[in-house]
Structure 1
Amino acid sequence: MGKYFGTDGFRGEANEVLTVEHAFKVGRFLGWYYGQDHKAKVVIGKDTRRSSYMFEYALVAGLTASGANAYLLHVTTTPSVSYVTRTENFDCGIMISASHNPFYDNGIKVINGKGHKLEAEVEEKIERYIDGEMGELPLAKKEEIGRTVDYAAGRNRYIGYLISLATRSFEDKKVGLDCSNGSAFAIAKSVYDALGAKTFVINCEPDGTNINTNCGSTHIEVLKEYVKANHLDVGFAFDGDADRCIAVDENGNVIDGDLILYICGKYMKENGRLNGDTIVTTIMSNLGLYKACDKVGLKYEKTAVGDKYVYENMVQNNFSLGGEQSGHIIFSKHATTGDGILTSLMIMEVMLEKKLSLAKLAEDVKIYPQLLQNVRVADKKTARENPKVMKAIDAVAEALGDDGRILVRESGTEPVIRVMVEAATDELCAKYVGQVVDVIKAQGLVVQ
């Protein structure tokens, strides 16, 4: 990771960590970098945070000052920016979002012309420019100054693309959508209505401060209760920028990314659409997923946490499906990034084609109890490498043996250490997570 750019762009509290000056300089650099031999075209999307407008205008000012034309998708999803960038010949795309983070955070995610996350070497150059290590860049003059273009049509084309992926009508299916008061509010209902579903929508009234607040994929209990209370066939919850999807079956049970990978991977394997009969997972995936995969001949790869690493593995090995427990799922035939709405459509395809409920499709996976606790620390590396913390981790690993595991890692986007334990019971998970967290606290590494 760089000084400003983490695993998912430049992210932090608005006007505290990430400022309009930063956004202006990112725009200035990208407009200059991509416009050295032609007039650069950059497409921009944003989520519903109050600060997203502020950063949008700062980015546009920087881009146009460097001579680039800025095309505005307005409120839209991260995957839609990726889709429009790669299909409509933009030099790069920018998404203004902090994904599942609280409303007061925001982020700038840059997407290259192929729809992938920006190369690390280009991010490093942006950081050098922000820190004044490159000197000043030339300003565009006269007719060379860039312009801004309203590009809502690009978002509409993306909606049409999603609708085209459905293999059957959703007629008579009662589908719940939790839009997290975020980007999905502008797209998800339109897609499901067009496909004939009886669409029930919650958390679809963003006000700039309620994105991800007690709703969406990070607060799945809200959708669980809604699906049960309204006797729906299935529910889908998205995060702030809709690149994640967590599902809920007809009984109110949570179908997380691991179960989605199993359901879709098994279906694609049966239909000869799963290259190498392999799904790509991360080290956070549940042991129960792997045991279920072994039984049906599904192979799997394991990567570091982050859809960036999942996608790199998929590209290198030409795999079709990969993702994270958190609901970042990538279908490489259709997208270059996680796409929550697309993922929900792929789940609907399996349900309709196999004529089975979501609960039935998931019943073969017996998930191990898992507990994840986030610990906010002053310095992630210092906390992770503290000798007494490492000793505590080793002690838990030895106690669990082959009947579970412990994973302690640094967050890629926050000043947080994540302590995760899988074990035979919830009580054991809580016991062993508590042991490690107590040591982190005793060493004075935690900040309030």
Structure 2
Amino acid sequence: LVKMLAKSADVGRARRIDDGQGRYVEFAKRTLPRNLSLEGLRVVVDCANGAAYKVAPQALWELGAEVISLGVEPDGFNINRECGSTEPAALCQKVKEMRADIGIALDGDGDRVLIADERGRIVDGDQLLAVIAESWQADGRLAKPGVVATVMSNLGLERYLGSLAISLARTPVGDRYVLEHMRAQGFNVGGESSGHIILSDYTTTGDGLLTALQVLAVVKKQQQPVSKVCHRFDPLPQVLKNVRYASGKPLENAKVRSAIEDAQARLDGHGRLIVRSSGTEPVIRVMGEGEDKVLVEEGVDGIVDALTNAA
């Protein structure tokens, strides 16, 4: 047994970092231009009673913002409970109540963010990707003239970026697929509509606070309300429905395949159709989007009916 033990020189070492929070706050601040101040902005930040409950309000305050904090009383059980980016209703209400300029909703582990504008309306990750991509393109910071998103990102995002000569590469759903494509192809901006944005110049995963700071930098630069800064495009109507099945492979059913082909033909290049199996449960997810909402709904419903009969 003694021979199997590692020698003392090969044993790992543990070291306590007493000021981890302070280091992170300084790191976050350094992602912005040195002379940028958030003075004059009233910011509501909801930390979801999670990982960022101390550092996010502190970083925003040190940058000069007036900060109103929510979700900063974790008790070990209330993380993400009726707060944060998964349930942003309280944030939206507080933004309107306090007449704030912006609301920032993080999730429990701090890797996702949604924004609320000054009217208390939610801004999703697709709009945030557009804001950051356009800003970084103007500053010459995009590693390549493109960004990475998943198949679920709205077609409106793709068209808007295309108008700026910025390509949109799509991956399967999941931030790990986004990151893999970014690394393989040399992109430095990517993310999901859920608000999980990856800025690989700074981190190898999503960081909600860093994403919010990039948006705040654009708000300060343009001196425009968040409702204008963060509305870069009109999203196309999108319909998403789930069909649960007991067993088998419904997607291989002939009538299901026929319904999918029919829906694709009817969209005829004016929309997108995604039909995929969930990776975690026996569910088929059907997503359609396009310029004509009625046409999209009819196509999705036709597929759902076929799947229901085959399930």
Tell me which interval the TM-score lies in, with the shorter structure as reference length.
0.7 to 0.9
- Equivalent of 1:422 in 257, 282, 289: 289
Unpaired segments of 5 or more residues in structure 2?
none
Unaligned runs of 5+ in 1: 1-31, 42-68, 70-148
Q: Match of 2:125, as an amino acid?
A: G
Among 46, 63, 68, which residue is 1:178 paired with?
Answer: 46
What is the aligned partner in structure 2 of residue 55 from structure 1?
Answer: none
In the alignment, which of 103, 108, 117 is matched to residue 240 of structure 1?
108
CA-CA distance at 1:212 after TM superposition: 2.8
Partner of residue 164, structure 1: 30
Cα distance change, pair 270–382 in 1 and its aligned pair in 2 (3 A): same
Superimposed CA distance per residue, residues 243-302 of structure 1 (whole angstroms, 9 cap, x where no aligned partner): 111112222332211111111111111111112221122211111112111222222222
**Equivalent position of 1:436 in the other structure:** 303
Spell out the pairing of 1:92-103 with structure 2 (5 A cutoff): none
Letter in 1 for 2:11: K
Determine the C-alpha separation between the residues in 1 that align with 2:10 and 2:254. 54
Instruction: Map residues 269-288 of structure 1 onto 2, 5 A cutoff.
Output: 269-288=137-156
Aligned counterpart in structure 2 of residue 403 of structure 1, from 270, 274, 279? 270
Where 2:85 maps in the other structure, the secondary structure is: helix
Alpha-carbon contact 2:127-2:231 (below 8 Å) kept: no
Match of 2:257 among 390, 399, 415: 390
Q: Would you say 1:195 and 2:63 are equivalent positions?
A: yes
Aligned residue in 2 for 1:229:
97
Residues 18-417 of structure 1 mapped to structure 2, 5 A cutoff: 38-40=10-12, 151=17, 153-167=19-33, 168-378=36-246, 382-417=249-284
Residues 1:175 and 1:442: Cα distance change in structure 2 (over 3 Å) = same
Alignment CA distance shift 1:434-1:353 (3 Å): same
**Which amino acid is the alignment partner of residue 266 of structure 1?**
E
SS class of match (2:236) = coil
User: CA 1:429–1:315 in 2, change beyond 3 Å: closer, same or farther?
Assistant: same
- Deviation, 1:378, is 4.8
Deviations 1:11-48 (A, max 9, x none): xxxxxxxxxxxxxxxxxxxxx9x99x93346xxxxxxx
Aligned equivalents of 1:177, 1:414: Cα separation in 2: 33
Q: CA deviation at 1:429?
A: 4.6
1:400, CA displacement in angstroms? 2.2
Computed over aligned residues only, the root mean square deviation of the Cα atoms, in angstroms, reads 2.9
Q: Could you tell me whether the CA contact under 8 Å between 2:46 and 2:91 is conserved in 1?
A: yes
Task: Report the counterpart of residue 102 of structure 1 in structure 2.
Answer: none
- Matched residues, percent identical? 38
Q: Which moved more, 1:322-331 or 1:400-409?
A: 400-409
State the 1:392 CA deviation: 2.9
- How far the C-alpha of 1:345 sits from its partner, in A, is 0.8
8 Å CA contact retained: 2:131, 2:232: no
Q: 1:375 to 1:212 in 2, by over 3 A?
A: farther
> Following TM superposition, by how much is the alpha carbon of 1:233 offset from its aligned partner in structure 2, in angstroms?
0.8
For residues 38 and 307 of structure 1, the distance between their equivalents in structure 2, rounded to whole angstroms, comes to 35
Pair 382,297 (structure 1): closer, same or farther in 2 beyond 3 Å: same
- C-alpha deviation, 1:335, in angstroms: 0.9
Partner of 1:60: none
Question: Structure 1 residue 184: deviation in Å?
Answer: 2.5
Shift of 1:415: 4.8
Q: 1:224 to 1:432 in 2, by over 3 A?
A: farther
Give the match for residue 109 of structure 1.
none
Cα deviation for residue 205 of structure 1 reads 3.0
Whichever residue aligns with residue 404 of structure 1, its letter is G
* CA offsets 1:154-185 (integer angstroms, 9 cap, x no match): 34422321122233121121112122233232
In 2, Cα distance between the equivalents of 1:251 and 1:197?
19
**Matched residues in 1 for 2:75 and 2:292: separation?**
41
Q: CA deviation at 1:424?
A: 3.0
1:303 positional shift: 1.9
> Would the alpha carbon gap of residues 173 and 409 (structure 1) be closer, same or farther in structure 2, given more than 3 Å must change?
same
Residue 359 of structure 1 aligns to which amino acid in structure 2?
Answer: S
Give the paired residue count.
305
How big is the shift at 1:431?
4.3
> How far off is 1:329 after superposition?
0.8
Question: In structure 2, what is the Cα distance between the partners aligned to 1:369 and 1:417?
Answer: 20
CA distance in 2, matches of 1:365, 1:378: 40
